A and B are shown apart, each in its own frame.
Chain A
């Protein structure tokens, strides 16, 4: 399983990637949406974890760009939105994908990654 992390906050995304690596997960990271597109053109990723708010391209906009390159890719969105109202609005916009609040609980993220990929595997089996 290969994971791509995309967040414009380098200190956040690099530390998160390292923590996932320490738990045996193969997680690359980039801080610019355009670099994410380049990565997906060169390598296969099973799942992308995207910050919702990034300069120039939102996480939701980036999802559309990445899905064109890799239609099977799954997505989890991260957000720093403070209120329940903005969380619900963002979750509705993200659609069926998972939507997590920052600061993250790493165990919750890993659980969501497992859930997303197990849903995919079940889909393949049926």
Chain B
């Protein structure tokens, strides 16, 4: 169960990501709207006797299909995100959690001129955890690192098996001088709820989320 503080943090995360997703869908719809409008314009001109460029029509049709596929991907991510709150704790794949957290963070990162990439584990790593809380934790760690990253120096989010469970690493090459960024209280609270340990590794320029075998 989540306490009030975690609920508040979680709701804020859910709202931020939902707004970002809706914005992304609106953008895809805007592209589809302009390209469909252009197709219509070209057909109307052809009806008036202007020669029609079939290659141009084909490129537009292909681009429209691509936009629909992109929108489908966004909606699938939205659906997966919505289902992370179905049960508090469950068995899930570490790579899936990381890739979903990164995909949802990308637009906000882009708007702030910050890159985010994921380096997924080579093989599937199953963990029992609260996926929503874990994604919220990854997001907050990313937010903490954002001031020290940009498009040329992105934050890399990776995951691996450890001796006691699994580790999620967030790293950037532009680490602040000294021991690293200060961790906000929200990170500490979520880590505690997940029985996770947050380690700042200044040598590796990383924030490490250490999760036990049971999540």
Contacts and interface: CB of A to CB of B under 8 A. Distances in A.
Contacts of A86: 19
Given A12-B34, A80-B30, A104-B34, A22 B45 contact: yes
B27 A55 contact: no
Interface in A8-42: 9, 11-12, 15-16, 18-19, 22
A106 B113 contact: no
Chain A's interface: helix, strand, loop or mixed, by majority?
Answer: loop
A102 B35 contact: no
A10 to B, nearest CB: 9
Nearest to A57: B113
Interface residues of A, number: 21
A82 interface: yes
Given A9-B31, A82-B26, A102-B29, 9 more contacts: A11-B35, A16-B34, A54-B111, A55-B112, A80-B23, A80-B27, A103-B30, A103-B32, A103-B33
Interface of B: 19, 22-23, 26-27, 29-35, 37-38, 41, 45, 60, 63, 67, 110-113, 151
Interface of A: 9, 11-12, 15-16, 18-19, 22, 53-56, 80-83, 86, 102-104, 106
